[in-house]
Amino acid sequence: MTATPQTIQIEDLSFEITPLPFKTSRRVFLLLGRTIGPALVDILSQAGSIEALLQVNPRQLGRALDALLASLDDATVDVLFLEFGKYTTLLEDGASPIFHEPVQERVFRGRVLISLQYLKACVEVNYADFFSAGASLRAAVQDAPKA
């Protein structure tokens, strides 16, 4: 993973997201793992197999989203916005990071979906290597001979 900032466009907003420093990245990754990890394990166990999980099933996807949202609490979400915000610049605003609550309030007020898309983009920028390893596993499962 590179420390090169990435510009992410979400609707009418452009964010420059810089990967977190290593210790912060590790801490946030462990927080995410402890918070949403059990829900992900439960989703996989309900699917019965990785192959079944890889197939899009709207009901299963809805249950998965419910489980993930239920596993998050305000304190965790606050930490995510704070830590990612320190390394994110709203390009329309110049060079100031968006971790300050008044900036987040102005940017995300009435735009909950955009705030969640922003968090998703931050996770992708910071943990792309982890997700690409998952994509390699997914490809191996899909290419494996069927029993």
Angle between helices 22-47 and 112-143 (to 10 degrees): 60
CB 22 within 8 A of CB 16: no
Q: Record the tokens describing residue 72, joined without a space.
A: 């998050």
As a whole number, mean pLDDT of residues 43-70 equals 67
Contacts 24+ apart (CB under 8 A), 29-36: 29/126, 29/127, 29/130, 31/76, 31/79, 31/80, 32/80, 32/123, 35/71, 35/72, 35/73, 35/76, 36/68, 36/71, 36/72
Considering only CA atoms, which of 26, 28, 42 is closest in space to residue 77? 28
Least confident span in 36-40, 42-46, 135-139: 135-139
Considering only CA atoms, which of 85, 98, 80 is closest in space to residue 29? 80
How large a percentage of the chain has pLDDT more than 90?
Answer: 36
Average pLDDT, the chain: 79
Give the per-residue pLDDT at 147. 52
Q: List the beta bridge partners of residue 13.
A: 10
Q: Which residue has the higher pLDDT, 130 or 125?
A: 125
Q: pLDDT tens, 64-117?
A: 667 777 778 889 999 999 999 999 988 886 666 777 778 888 889 999 989 989
- Indicate whether 13 pLDDT > 80: yes
CB 87 within 8 A of CB 100: no
Give the per-residue pLDDT at 137. 47
Determine the length of the chain: 147
Q: Which residue has the higher pLDDT, 15 or 101?
A: 15
> What pTM, to 2 d.p., does this model score?
0.73
Cα–Cα distance, 127 to 133 (Å, whole number): 10
Q: Where are the domains of the chain?
A: 10-140
